[in-house]
Amino acid sequence: MRTQILASVSLLAAGAYAQACLTTAEAQLVADNFQALIDQPFSIPLAEAALTEDYVDWASGVNTLINSGCAAPLSLTGPTFTNRTDFIKGQSGQAPIGFQILNLWNNCDTVMLRWRGTNLGGPTTPAEDTTGMIVLEVVQNTSSTTQPWQIQTSYSEFNSGAWLYDLGVFKPTNCTS
């Protein structure tokens, strides 16, 4: 019994030791995939390779855009997309926007980036740029040689006020210039 317990403990330890960690290059690939889903013509094969099937996207800024600044129909505290199919349905109809990565960080299972959006669409000129932060939680896919890490959850917030301005939804009345 004691030997068995010791054996299980050492197996657990070996398992923990073998746990993989994202490399900087792999984090860059995850970020590049996310960027391409936003700034390139939408690719369903890329979405299926880059995101897990149970992908969940949390972005109250996107919910505000979808709601045109109102508090409904999407809850501002709820997810934007609750699975990959739902994401593909929502995102595939969007025109690509300029999505520049300004900073990139990672730890073993998370990729964090700061971005700037340009040419967001809408009638207002000159447009206001939008800056945002995104945290991507990833899981390893050991059977894939091309996409070793897939995004399982994203948490994203950005300046939705500027974006609503570009879309002509938000019309400020007290600008000095």
Ligand X SMILES: *[C@@H]1O[C@H](CO)[C@@H](O)[C@H](O)[C@H]1NC(C)=O
Interface residues with ligand X (CB under 6 A)?
82-83, 85-86, 141, 143-144, 150
Rounded least distance, CB 66 to ligand X, Å: 13
Rounded least distance, CB 102 to ligand X, Å: 29
Rounded least distance, CB 88 to ligand X, Å: 10
Q: Which lies closer to ligand X via its Cβ, residue 8 or residue 144?
A: 144
Q: Which lies closer to ligand X via its Cβ, residue 150 or residue 156?
A: 150
**Residue 23 near residue 31 (C-beta atoms within 8 A):** no
Q: Which lies closer to ligand X via its Cβ, residue 80 or residue 160?
A: 80
Cβ neighbours around 43 below 10 Å, total: 15
Task: Note if the bond before 41 is cis, omega within 30 degrees.
Answer: no
Cβ neighbours around 158 below 10 Å, total: 22
Closest residue to ligand X, based on beta-carbon distance: 144
Instruction: Tell me the torsion sign for CA atoms 107, 110, 112, 118.
Output: positive
- Side chain identity at 29, as an amino acid letter? L
Q: Which lies closer to ligand X via its Cβ, residue 50 or residue 134?
A: 50
